[in-house]
């Protein structure tokens, strides 16, 4: 009986540690994001963004990342080589949410959009990693639903924590 109680307490300790690690991971992810952002562009949470109507989502990652998966209906604008053609059909007062992997590149693109005269530009806080972590739908380059996320590289992959999604490098 004594051995059974010791084993029970051991497993309870592991469960407690694991549940605490999930909270720490979420806080650590926020800390990581906050360390990269200047908050020069207003942020919107994935929960808020998911509920928005009449919005243009712009993907500020590289084309290979976008083709693996992106937010449904998102348009590719890129980062290194800005795809200005995508902006031709977007009115200057249209609500725009820009995203990348965690929010750094999208913030920089958001700053460029503001300089071009766009007035309602937002940065998706936590970007596609947080979108996937929350379990929201993604689509591939053909517009088909996918559970794959380009995680940039191995170092950044740890921030994409939803086990229901496949990490692609």
Element (DSSP H or E) covering residue 123: strand 121-124
First to last CA, the chain: 49
Distance CA 96, CA 71 (A): 13
100 is annotated as an active-site residue: yes
* Closest among 138, 22, 114, 142 to 151, alpha carbons compared: 138
Residues 6+ apart with CB under 8 A from 40: 107, 110, 111
Catalytic-role residue among 33, 41, 100, 128: 100
> For residues 155 and 32, what is the distance between their CA atoms, to the nearest angstrom?
12
Q: Is 168 left (phi over 0), alpha (psi -120 to 50) or beta?
A: beta
CA atoms within 13 A on the CB side of 147: 7
Active site amino acids:
100
């Amino acid at each position: 009986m004594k051995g059974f109680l010791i084993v029970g307490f051991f497993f309870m300790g592991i469960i407690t540690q694991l549940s605490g690690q999930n909270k720490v991971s979420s806080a650590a992810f926020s800390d990581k994001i906050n360390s990269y952002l200047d908050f020069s562009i207003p942020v919107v949470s994935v929960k808020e963004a998911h509920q928005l109507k009449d919005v243009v989502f712009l993907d500020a990652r590289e084309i290979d990342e976008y083709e693996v998966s992106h937010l449904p209906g998102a348009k590719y604008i890129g980062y290194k080589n800005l795809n200005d053609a995508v902006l031709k059909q977007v009115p200057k007062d249209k609500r725009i949410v820009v995203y990348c992997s965690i929010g750094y590149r999208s913030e920089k693109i958001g700053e460029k959009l503001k300089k071009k005269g766009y007035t309602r530009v937002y940065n998706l806080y936590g970007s596609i990693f947080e979108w996937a972590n929350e379990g929201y739908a993604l689509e591939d380059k053909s517009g088909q639903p996918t559970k794959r996320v380009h995680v940039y590289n191995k170092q950044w992959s740890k921030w994409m924590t939803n086990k229901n999604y496949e990490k692609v490098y």
